[in-house]
Structure 1
Amino acid sequence: MDVEPDLFTAAAEERQEKDPSSSPLAVRMRPRTLDEVVGQRHLLKPGSPLRRLVGQGGGPAGASSVILWGPPGIGKTTLAYVVSKATDKRFVELSAITAGVKEVRAVIDGARRASGGYGKETVLFLDEIHRFSKAQQDSLLPAVENRWVTLIAATTENPYFSVISPLLSRSLLLTLEPLTDEDLSGLMDRAVAEERGLGGAVELAADARAHLLRIAGGDARRALTALEAAAGGALAKGEREITLQTVEEAVDRAAVTYDRDGDQHYDVASALIKSIRGSDVDAALHYLARMIEAGEDPRFIARRLMISASEDIGLADPQALPLAVAAAQAVAMIGFPEAALTLSHATIALALAPKSNAATNAIFAAREDVRNGLAGPVPSHLRDGHYKGAAKLGHAQGYVYPHDVPGAIAAQQYAPDALHGRRYYEPTRYGAEARYADVVEKVRERLKGDG
C-alpha cells in the first residue's frame, strides 16, 4: 500500500469536478474545509487545537496525532479527510475491524517512502481503534513518535478504557458531540441550494424536512441520502417541492406523529414503561417502534428500561437489571440501526418478567422516614473503632462479627433506637422474590435472637 490511494482519490475528485452528479449527494456535500464541517462548534473555535493542527490560528500544532471520540454517524471520517486536505497530505483509511498489524505496517512503510521519495506526508485514518488489541495498538507507536504518519483514530468507546496509555498520551483527544436537528437542517439547506448539491432544483416543505430529520436520527449521511432520494422522486414527477408524501414514497417509511421535544415524547415514553409494567409485550413493542421510527435517542430509551428493571421488576427477577444495563452498554457502543435489536431484546424480556415494586416501596418508605427526622444516632457497637480512643468512648465495643457465629447472622441491633424493629422491605411472592420472602422472615427472627 503505497501511493495508490492518492491516485484513486485524485481520479475520483477529478471525475466529481467534471460530473458532480456522478457521486452521491453525501459525497458531493463532504466538507472541503473546517469551516464547512457541520456541528462540533466546540472544536472549531479560532485558535482551537484542531485549527492549529491544520495550521490555522497561530501557535504550534502540538500533537500530530488525534483520537476522535463520539457516537456513530457524526463525521469522524469527514474530519480526518478535511485535515488531510487542509494540510495537503495523503489520506489512507483503515478499519480496525478488517485490518491488522500487517496492513498497518504496509501503510507506515508506504508513508515513509512517500515522504522520502517526493515529500508527501500521510494521514492514516484508523476507524474503530478500540477493536485493536494492545499489541496491535503498540504497532502504531513508532509511526506516531517519529511522525511518519499523522494518525487520526476514531472510537465510539471511552478511549481512557479502550486505547493504550502510551498512544493516548501522544495524541490530541477530541470529543465529538451528536449532531442536532439544527445542524442537519442547515446541512440540508446547503445541499438543496449549493451547485455541487441539488443546485436549487427543488424546495423542501416543512413537514418533509421534519420527517427527514426523524429518519436521519442524527446521522448526516443518512439525512442526505434520504434527501437525494426524495429530490429524485419529486423531479421524476415534474414537481419542484419535496412534500412529505414524496419523502415517504422515496424512503418507503410512513411519517410517525411524534415530537421528540413535546408532549408526545413524554406520552409515548410513559406508555412504553406502563406497557412493560403491565406485562403487555406487544403494546410495549409498539411504543418502542414509535420511538425508534421517530428518531428518539436510543440511549434515552435504554435509560428508561434500566429504571423500569429496578422500579417494576426488582427482585422478582434479579437478572432484569443486569440485562437492562448490558442492553444500555450495547446501545451506546453500536448505535442505530442495530441498536433497535438490542432494545427489542430488553423490552421483551422486561415485559415478560415477573413484577415486583417491593424494592421501590422499601426505599421510598426509608427515605420518607429520614426526611421526617426519624433517624437517631448509630448504635455504639456499630461505630468505627479503628482509631485511638475509640474503646474509651465505647465505640465498636460489644460488636459481634457475624462470620464468627453459626449461620453468619448475629443477634444484635443494627438500626438506630428510633427505628429498631421498623420494616421497609415487604417482598412479594412473585417470581424469584418468593425466595427472598422466605429468607427475610428467617433472618429477622435470627436478628432478634429468636431463631
Structure 2
Amino acid sequence: MEPDLFTAAAEERQEREPSASPLAVRMRPRSLDEVVGQQHLLRPGSPLRRLVGEGAGGPAGASSVLLWGPPGIGKTTLAYVVSRATDKRFVELSAITAGVKEVRAVIDSARRSSGAYGKDTVLFLDEIHRFSKAQQDSLLPAVENRWVTLIAATTENPYFSVISPLLSRSLLLTLEPLTDDDLRGLLRRALADERGLAGAVELPADAEAHLLRIAGGDARRALTALEAGAGSALAKGESVITLGTLEETVDRAAVKYDRDGDQHYDVASALIKSIRGSDVDAALHYLARMIEAGEDPRFIARRLMISASEDIGLADPTALQTAVAAAQAVAMIGFPEARITLSQATIALALAPKSNAAYKAVDAALADVRAGLAGPVPAHLRDGHYKGAGKLGHGEGYQYPHDLPGGIAAQRYAPEELHGRRYYEPTRYGAEARYAEVAERVRARLRGEEPPRARPESG
C-alpha cells in the first residue's frame, strides 16, 4: 500500500503548502470541466465522460484507455482526472525507466488493494510505445481481468506501436494539439487562480505572446516558463512580467513573427528559396525562425516535400524520399525532437543538386491540355479487353514492349496533334545527367532511329 500512502501525503502537502509544488502541478485539473482543449473528447455523453461515470449508460465498458497525441497536451492530466473522478488509486510508471518487474509489482499491489480495501487502481503508463511486444504482453492479464484500469499514453501511432490484443481491448482517444487560445486561457487562469499565482503578477500582451511562442503547444512548458518569469519578476520587486524579464529567464529572444500574417509566408518563402539557392546556412536560419515562432512542424515538412520535387527532382531522386520520411517522422514524434529531423531534411535538400525539369515538364503538358491540344488516343493504345473492342479496332497493332529487344517498341504513343512534342527537358546536374542520356536514346528508338552512343562514364 506504499503508493497510496505516498500519493495521499503528496496531495495533503499540496493542499497545505500549494507553493511547494511546481505551477504545472498546482494547476493540474481536478475535473474534466477544468481540462484545457480536447473539446472533441469532452462533449456530454462522450466515452471519456462515461468512463468517469458521467451521463447515461454509466462508466464506459473499456478496461484500458490509450491516449495518443504529441507531448504536453494533457495525457497525464486526463489519467489523473479519471482516477480522481472515479475515486481510484493513481499509480504512474514510465516505459522509459520501468520494466516487467515494476509493472507486475503494481499489478500485485492493485489486486491486494482491491481485495483488502475495495480500492481499485488506475495505472498510468507513459510512453507505452517504448515497451517491447513481450513487455506489452505482460499487461494483458491485468487488463483482461480488470485488476487495473490501464491508461497508456503514446506519442506514436498506436496501430504501429501497440500490440493488437491490447489495442483491441482499449478505448483509443486521439488528443489534438493545444491551440494558442487554449494556452492563453490556461496562462490567464494560472495568473489569477488561488492555486496558481493568485494575482501576484501581471503578464502584458507582448510577454504573453512570447510565452505562447516558446510553449509550442505544450501546456507544461507554458506554465513552467510562466512560473520562472514570475519568480524572476518578484525577486526584482516587480509585479509585471516584462518581455525582457521573460527573455532573461528562459534564455530566448522574442521572435518577431506573426504566424497568421505576412511573416508566416515571408519566412516560409525564404526557407524554400534558400534551399533552392543551395545556401544551407540561410535555410537553417529560416528553419530555426519557423520553429521558434511555433510553426506546425507538419507545415514545414510539407514545404520540404514540395521543394524536393519542385527544385531537386531527378537531379537527386532520393531527396523526395528524404522529405517524405521526414514528414512521417515529424507526424509521429512532434517537437522538440522533430527539429532534428527537419534539420536533417533541410540540410540534405539544400546541398542536393538542383533541377526544376519535373516542375517545368508537367506545367508545359498542362498548358497544352488547357489550350485544347489533346486529340484522340491512338487506336492501338485503347482498351481492347471489352466485348466489341475488336470491331472498333481498339488495341489492334499494339506492340508489347516486353517482347522486344531493349524493351522499347517503335510505335506512336502521343495523340497525332502532339506527335513530337517534348515536355521533359532534363538538366545535366547530379543524377539527372543519366536521365538525360536515357531520354535521348529512348526517344530515338521510339522514332525508329539508331540511338546515340552512351557517353563514357568519367572515372
TM-score, normalisation: structure 2? 0.93
Residue 167 (structure 1) aligned with residue 163 (structure 2)? no
What amino acid sits opposite 1:150 in the alignment?
A: T
Equivalence for 1:148:
147
Confirm or deny: 8 A CA contact 2:63 2:144 kept in the other structure.
no
Name the aligned partner's letter for residue 36 of structure 2: V
Residue in structure 2 matched with residue 349 of structure 1 by the alignment: 348
CA-CA distance at 1:153 after TM superposition: 1.8
- Deviation (angstroms), 1:5: 2.4
Distance 1:30 1:408, change over 3 A: same
- Structure 1, unpaired ranges of 5+: none
Contact persistence 2:18–2:26 (CA under 8 A) = yes
Instruction: Verify the 8 A CA contact 2:156 2:333 in the aligned structure 1.
Output: no
Q: CA deviation at 1:196?
A: 1.1
Q: Within 5 Å, give how 1:35-434 maps onto structure 2.
A: 35-60=33-58, 61-434=60-433
Shift of 1:428: 0.5
CA contact 2:67–2:152 (8 Å) conserved in 1: yes
SS of residue in 2 equivalent to 1:94 = strand
Question: Post-superposition shift, 1:163?
Answer: 2.9
Say if 2:358 and 2:424, in contact at 8 Å, map to a contact too. yes
Structure 1 residues 221, 437: CA separation in 2 closer, same or farther (over 3 Å shift)? Answer: same
Name which of structure 1's ranges 149-158 and 204-213 shifts more when overlaid on structure 2: 149-158
Q: How many Å apart are 1:278 and its aligned residue?
A: 1.1
Contact persistence 2:297–2:338 (CA under 8 A): yes
Where 2:122 maps in the other structure, the secondary structure is strand
Shift in alpha-carbon separation, 1:45–1:447, aligned structure 2, 3 A: same
Distance 1:40 1:369 in 2: 49
Instruction: Show the counterpart of 1:21.
Output: 19
* Range moving further from structure 2, 89-98 or 11-20: 89-98
Q: Which amino acid aligns with 2:259?
A: R
Distance 1:51 1:182 in 2: 23
Aligned partner of 2:374: which letter?
A: A
Alpha carbons of 1:163 and 1:387: their partners in 2 closer, same or farther (altered >3 Å)?
farther
Report the more deviating stretch, 292-301 or 78-87: 292-301
- 1:312, CA displacement in angstroms? 0.5
Distance in 1 (CA, whole Å) between partners of 2:130 and 2:407 is 45
Structure 1 equivalent of residue 10 of structure 2: 12
Closer/same/farther in 2, CA of residues 433 and 199 from structure 1, 3 Å limit: same
Is this contact kept in 1: 2:228–2:250, CA < 8 A?
yes
Amino acid at match of 2:279: D
Q: Sort the Cα spacing of 1:249 and 1:450 in 2 relative to 1 into closer, same or farther, 3 A.
A: same
For residues 390 and 5 of structure 1, what CA distance do their matches in structure 2 show? 77
Contact 1:67 1:152 survives alignment (8 Å): yes
Shift, 1:413, TM fit = 1.9
Identify if the C-alpha distance between structure 1 residues 196 and 431 changes in structure 2 by more than 3 Å, giving closer, same or farther.
same
* Segment drifting more, 181-190 vs 293-302: 293-302
Give the Cα–Cα distance (whole angstroms) in 1 for the partners of residues 385 and 129 of structure 2: 44
Contact 1:281 1:352 in 2 (8 A): yes
Q: Is the contact between residue 157 and residue 332 of structure 2 (CA under 8 Å) also seen in structure 1?
A: no
| Structure 2: distance between partners of 1:293 and 1:323 | 23
Alpha-carbon separation, structure 1, partners of 2:127 and 2:434: 45
TM-score, normalised relative to structure 1:
0.95
Q: String of CA shifts for 1:156-196, please: whole Å, max 9, x gaps.
A: 22333333333323222211111011111110111111111
Residue 97 of structure 1, CA deviation: 3.2
Partners of 1:10 and 1:118 in 2: how far apart? 15
Hey, what does 1:443 align to over in structure 2?
442
TM-aligned CA distance change 1:367 to 1:96, over 3 Å: farther
Distance in 1 (alpha carbons) for counterparts of 2:364 and 2:337? 40
Closer, same or farther: CA 163–417 of 1 in aligned 2, 3 Å = farther
Mapped partners of 1:224, 1:283: distance in 2: 32
Change (3 A) 1:95 1:396: farther
- Partner deviation per Cα, 1:384-434 (whole Å, 9 max, x = no partner): 334444434333332222221111112222222222221111000111111
CA distance in 1, matches of 2:384, 2:144: 53
In structure 2, C-alpha distance between the alignment counterparts of 1:400 and 1:311, rounded to whole Å: 34
Question: 1:373: Cα distance to partner?
Answer: 2.8
For 1:388 and 1:10, locate their aligned partners in 2 and report how far apart those are by CA, in whole Å. 79
Matched residue of 2:429: which SS? coil
Identify if the C-alpha distance between structure 1 residues 417 and 155 changes in structure 2 by more than 3 Å, giving closer, same or farther: farther
Tell which deviates more after alignment, 299-308 or 167-176: 167-176
| Moved >4 Å (runs of 4+) | none
Q: In 1, distance between residues paired with 2:130 and 2:448?
A: 56
Whether contact under 8 Å (1:16, 1:22) holds in the other structure is: yes
Q: For residue 242 of structure 1, give the secondary structure of its aligned residue in structure 2.
A: coil
**2:66–2:173 contact (8 Å) kept in structure 1:** yes
Q: Distance in 1 between matches of 2:97 and 2:398?
A: 60
Aligned residues: 449
Residues 217, 295 of structure 1: 8 Å contact kept: yes
Cα drift, residue 343 of structure 1:
1.6
Cα separation, 2, equivalents of 1:132 and 1:234: 43
Distance in 2, Cα, partners of 1:200 & 1:355: 56
Runs of 5+ consecutive residues of structure 2 not aligned to the other structure: 451-459
Is contact 1:384-1:396 (8 Å) kept? yes
- Counterpart contact for 1:53–1:64, Cα < 8 Å: no
Residue 364 of structure 2 aligns to a residue in which SS?
helix
User: How far, CA to CA, are the matches of 2:55 and 2:89 in structure 1?
Assistant: 23
Paired residue secondary structure (1:235): helix
